[in-house]
A and B are shown apart, each in its own frame.
Chain A
């Protein structure tokens, strides 16, 4: 794959290769981004599933900016790591599985947003959380666990 070779020979890769602290710093940023992103998602999904019921659902959904900040940090740091090791990661099955799980998690979030706006949001202000919301929250937790798992496994296959 020519593009992978081109990426790996780019100026950015060169910096990562020659400046010793860049890769560890980027990897650490990826972990902090993960803590924001997956941590906030866990709190939101678990609240939808009935944990910590005295915390208003609306306020917990208000944690979504943390998810976006974490996502942006990780797209940026993830891209740097990918470009640095493009010829390896580009053919790494765990990496592509991770991308598939990420896409599914995104579709799942989209379904949630559409369905929630259509169903009305009375459940946000208290009351019974509809069954479909609980299904989507469970799927979200499972998918993000898969994203983290496949992400970690990339280094080992």
Chain B
């Protein structure tokens, strides 16, 4: 038995797959966590691109806990959903594309957080994004949007 088959056979895997409420519950959590994560990171990225310039750039850092909360909800609910049909998900190209997009989005968020908030702090809150940083912000929006799309399509296109 492979690791994925074992995962599917665990108590969690069978519960999510077979109980009446398991799959819809974790799917609902995954949807709410997605909205929280994408909204918080999306607003930070848009602010870096110049949207709502009156928002203090350092103030948008207070949205990071929301992004982390959404990410944590989705990591947990995502693992639970994954265990219900681990072999299918692991072999799904849309699932792999989604994971790759999340990884890229995460790397971007890390890079952006380091440069933007660091520089804004040194300059006492003033900040003008360089072209490079704007590219990171813009590509982040594309990655997260892509992750939502790929996520929804796992059910249709293995």
CB within 8 A of A54: which of B20, B40, B58, B149? Answer: B58
Contact yes or no, B62 A55, CB < 8 A: yes
Interface residues of B in 37-81 (CB under 8 A from A): 38-40, 42-43, 52, 54-56, 58-60, 62-63, 65-66
Contact yes or no, A28 B148, CB < 8 A: yes
By a CB distance below 8 angstroms, the chain A residues around B38 are 35, 39
Contact yes or no, B66 A55, CB < 8 A: no
By a CB distance below 8 angstroms, the chain A residues around B59 are 52, 54-55
Contact yes or no, B32 A38, CB < 8 A: yes
Known: A52-B63, A54-B62, A148-B31. A156 touches B20 (CB 8 A): yes
Mark each residue of chain B from 21 to 35: 1 if its CB lies under 8 Å from any CB of chain A, else 0.
001100110011011
By a CB distance below 8 angstroms, the chain B residues around A31 are 31, 34, 148, 151-152
Contact yes or no, B66 A46, CB < 8 A: yes
Mark each residue of chain A from 32 to 74: 1 if its CB lies under 8 Å from any CB of chain B, else 0.
1011001110110010000111111001001100000000000
Q: How far is the CB of A44 from chain B (nearest CB, A)?
A: 10
Contact yes or no, B35 A59, CB < 8 A: no
Contact yes or no, B28 A148, CB < 8 A: yes
CB within 8 A of B145: which of A24, A27, A32, A53? Answer: A32
We find that the number of chain A residues with CB closer than 8 angstroms to chain B is: 29
Contact yes or no, A34 B153, CB < 8 A: no
Q: How far is the CB of A145 from chain B (nearest CB, A)?
A: 6
A11 on the B face (CB < 8 A): no
Say whether chain A's binding surface is mostly helix, strand, loop, or mixed.
helix
Say whether chain B's binding surface is mostly helix, strand, loop, or mixed.
helix
Output the nearest chain B residue to A24 by Cβ-Cβ distance.
B156
By a CB distance below 8 angstroms, the chain A residues around B155 are 24
Q: How far is the CB of A101 from chain B (nearest CB, A)?
A: 13
Contact yes or no, A156 B149, CB < 8 A: no
A153 on the B face (CB < 8 A): yes
CB within 8 A of A35: which of B54, B58, B148? Answer: B148
Contacts A31-B152, A42-B35, A62-B52 known; list 6 others, CB within 8 Å: A35-B39, A46-B66, A52-B62, A55-B59, A63-B43, A153-B24
A residues near B (Cβ < 8 Å) are 24, 27-28, 31-32, 34-35, 38-40, 42-43, 46, 51-56, 59, 62-63, 145, 148-149, 152-153, 155-156
21 sample A-B contacts, Cβ–Cβ < 8 Å, listed by A number = A27-B152, A31-B31, A31-B34, A32-B145, A34-B35, A38-B32, A38-B39, A39-B36, A39-B42, A43-B63, A54-B59, A55-B55, A55-B59, A145-B32, A148-B35, A152-B24, A152-B27, A152-B31, A153-B28, A156-B20, A156-B24
